Amino acid sequence: MKLRSLFLSALCAAGLSGPLMAGGTLTPLGSSQQPIAIRDHQVHVTLNNGFAQTEVLQTFFNPNAQDLEAIYAFPVPKSASLSEVTVTTGEKTLQGEVLAKQEAETIYTEEKKSGNDAGLASKNGIQTYEFRIAPVRAQSEIKLRFVYYQPLEIDLGVGRYVYPLEDGGTDDVARSFWTSNSVVEGNLSIALELKSAAPVADVRVPGFESAANIQTLDAGHVRVALDRTGARLDRDFVFYYRLADNLPGRVEVIPYRADPKKPGTFMMVVTPGIDLKPITTGADFAFVLDTSGSMQGKIHTLAQGVSQALGQMKPSDRFRIVTFNQTARELVPWTPAAPESVQRAIATVKALSVTGGTNLYEGIREGLQGLDADRATSLILVTDGVANQGLVDPVAFHRLLKQVDLRVFGFLMGNGANWPLMRTLADATGGAFTAVSNDDDIVGQLMLAKSKVVHESLHDASFSFSGVRVFDTTGELPQKIYRGQQWILFGRYEGAGQATVTLKAKLTGEDKTYATTFDFPEVDTTNPEIERLWALAQIEQIEMKESIGSLPPSESKDAIQALGVAYQLVTDHTSMVLLDDASFARRGLQRSNQARTALERQAQATRATQPATAYRVDAAKPAFPAAAPHVNHGGGSGGGALRPDLVNALLIAFLVAAVLCSRRTLGRRR
């Protein structure tokens, strides 16, 4: 039986240049078989109640005379909970149930060898979800449907959703093996519905202004439709929405509890309304730039970004530039930002080229040299995070960064990028990382990044609960909260009734406390998807502990496998086997995911007929003294994050420029 591959390259952060290999069906180089054709590609997105639901439906056609096994891979989106996979082949429908990884793989192999229709969905490390389907009948169609959920975050009053299609070009092995067919023979259609309890002032679809049909149904209800015939799967779909100005700082709690005899689950979204003052003092900035081969096609954008950043510095600032591939070297030593020094550095950066492997550890280690204890320092890391040489253990990165007092601000480029590792780097220093898409609004993202670095932030922020027993929460470690940044926390609760949530943090050395009291419901079945999102957040927290060496791998594996099976999530240690009803019955397998998805679909059908629910719990007793900060969207300097004329392919240039333009002391001493 021949092997075919259906491979859609997509991830929350796409590359910043023309794709080396766009999404689509892949055929081994030199194969005599015709590539599997993409008949149509449909995406349905619902943004409601604090999370996004993405449903993808694709039809493929095997034009060959032989039955084939198909492999379809979808890059792992950040914090995405893959919940449903359905394959329709002929008159059969295959549905998925999550089992321990080895058990699911064994069942799939046995069914395939017996000539039965079967499928398998598994997770290939940080890179992809992989869907195997056997057989794909000759001269026949198959239909693949999958659903995933993601938490929604509002930053300075601006929400953002990305359906990724552009390939980031970080997988050299795949590029050397496959040839791509990325053209959709029929329609590429995307239908998005936004339901917001808060008024929506503006929405935007960068790059598709003339093609997208946008309908505003009421103050918080928007629909977007995009249909393209003969389209290529090589461009991200990005949707922005801006909430009304002067909304209050707030605490929102979205609960789920079906049985009062069992614990409930909740998602808490905290939007601080706090007067964080601007910081105007100078600082040191160490640029650590990836010039490895996986940055091919992105180096020009990187150079433009650093050039823009250097040009915005003031004489009291200092900068240093380090580059790395398989080794690291100092490109520019610590230098005061005098105009002539800046111009020489810009010319040097623009002459950079890419080659070799990626020794990220050595790049960061070199970037930490020569720090001045009397000056606040930030390390600006621009990379795709594909560490493949030298030390690659996240524990080593975490220990290295814990030895110094600075903040890492990472800009992560390219599909297949290692966002879990970047998360570890940011966590170790109290910094942050940003994944970027080629189709983002540049000035909009500039505003969001700049606001964080030109204002004070809350330090050592932690949440606690009293009253109703709350347990198994995420965000256990103290964190930083930047201006306009939401904080999303998941947890479980026992019993019902009144509870108090308290946020404690430090602001300019002073202890601050913010609190409110609300009720946990005895029963609320409106949002069953919250259980999967909680379980995934728990898994990410476990993975984080393992990555920094505080949890043994064996304990991590057991915990992740148990959560994956209980809440039907595909993880590194679980997989989803796809069979028809008769095969599940023959094997005596429990239909846990079938029952869970039935509840979710029923709830989704009910919500579809209703307006968005307001989940604010602190209206009577506000937790925060002021309105939530929002993006400056008017006038010359504000720019308008959602203006159509502000789209450009140099997002990272302006993001990095924003960091330096701020001139703030990001590396505040702890």
Q: What is the CATH number of the domain that holds 370?
A: 3.40.50.410
Exposed, middle or buried: residue 552 (CB in 10 Å: 0-12, 13-18, 19+)?
Answer: exposed
What is the Cα 286 distance to its own chain's centre? 26
Q: In what order do the strands lie in the sheet with 158-163?
A: 154-155, 158-163, 237-243, 200-204
State both tokens at 483: 């201006």
pLDDT at 402: 84
Give the closest residue to 46 by CA, choosing from 608, 531, 598, 606: 608
Give the closest residue to 35 by CA, choosing from 43, 25, 50: 25
Whole-angstrom distance, CA of residue 624 vs CA of residue 248? 8
Query: Coil, strand, or helix at residue 10?
Result: coil
pLDDT at 658: 37
Give the closest residue to 411 by CA, choosing from 655, 112, 165: 655
Whole-angstrom distance, CA of residue 118 vs CA of residue 128? 20
Are residue 264 and residue 206 in the same domain, yes or no? no
Output helix, strand, coil percentages for the chain, rounded to the nearest 5: 25, 40, 35
Residues 144 and 58: beta-carbon distance below 8 Å: yes
Whole-angstrom distance, CA of residue 569 vs CA of residue 593? 9
State both tokens at 610: 């209703």
In a domain, 669, yes or no: no
Whole-angstrom distance, CA of residue 296 vs CA of residue 175? 13
Are residue 199 and residue 319 in the same domain, yes or no? no
Are residue 110 and residue 50 in the same domain, yes or no? yes
In a domain, 566, yes or no: yes
Question: Parallel, antiparallel, or unpaired for β 487-507 and 264-271?
Answer: antiparallel
State both tokens at 37: 């054709």
> 10 Å Cβ neighbour count for 495?
13
Domain that residue 539 falls in: 250-277+461-572
**φ, ψ (nearest 5 deg) of residue 597:** -70, -30
In a domain, 155, yes or no: yes
Residues 424 and 398: beta-carbon distance below 8 Å: yes
Strand partners, 155: 158, 485
pLDDT at 179: 53
In a domain, 257, yes or no: yes
Q: What are the DSSP calls for 474-534, one per residue?
A: S--S-EEE-TTB-EEEEEEEEEEEEEEEEEEEEETTEEEEEEEEEEE-S-B-S-THHHHHH
> 10 Å Cβ neighbour count for 211?
12
State both tokens at 268: 């808490």
Are residue 164 and residue 182 in the same domain, yes or no? yes
Whole-angstrom distance, CA of residue 190 vs CA of residue 199? 23
State both tokens at 634: 């008017």
CATH label of the domain that carries residue 99 = 2.60.40.1730
Residues 372 and 378: beta-carbon distance below 8 Å: no
pLDDT at 447: 55
Helices 394-402 and 529-547 cross at an angle (nearest 10°) of 70
In a domain, 584, yes or no: no
Whole-angstrom distance, CA of residue 97 vs CA of residue 278? 51
pTM score of the predicted model: 0.83
pLDDT at 443: 46
Are residue 49 and residue 166 in the same domain, yes or no? yes
CATH label of the domain that carries residue 261 = 2.60.40
Q: With left for phi above 0 and alpha for psi between -120 and 50, is residue 234 left, alpha or beta?
A: alpha
Are residue 447 and residue 467 in the same domain, yes or no? no
- From 529, 544, 572, the end of a domain falls on 572
In a domain, 607, yes or no: no
Are residue 385 and residue 406 in the same domain, yes or no? yes
In a domain, 596, yes or no: no
Whole-angstrom distance, CA of residue 416 vs CA of residue 665? 32
What is the DSSP secondary structure assignment for residue 620, as one 8-state letter? Answer: S
Whole-angstrom distance, CA of residue 284 vs CA of residue 663? 9
In a domain, 608, yes or no: no
Whole-angstrom distance, CA of residue 483 vs CA of residue 492? 28
Are residue 122 and residue 150 in the same domain, yes or no? yes
Ranges of the chain with pLDDT below 50: 1-23, 26, 168-170, 442-443, 446, 634-670
Interacting residues of 391 by C-beta distance below 8 A, sequence separation 6+ = 361, 362, 397
What is the DSSP secondary structure assignment for residue 629, as one 8-state letter? Answer: P
Exposed, middle or buried: residue 468 (CB in 10 Å: 0-12, 13-18, 19+)?
Answer: middle
Are residue 182 and residue 35 in the same domain, yes or no? yes
Question: Parallel, antiparallel, or unpaired for β 432-435 and 2-7?
Answer: unpaired
Whole-angstrom distance, CA of residue 653 vs CA of residue 630? 23
Which residue carries 């970027």 as its tokens?
436
What amino acid is encoded at 81 in this protein? S
The H or E element that residue 340 is part of is helix 339-350
pLDDT at 435: 67
- From 524, 557, 572, the end of a domain falls on 572
Are residue 89 and residue 22 in the same domain, yes or no? yes
Are residue 32 and residue 162 in the same domain, yes or no? yes
Are residue 215 and residue 306 in the same domain, yes or no? no
As for how many domains the chain has, the answer is 3
What is the DSSP secondary structure assignment for residue 34, as one 8-state letter? Answer: P
- From 533, 548, 572, the end of a domain falls on 572
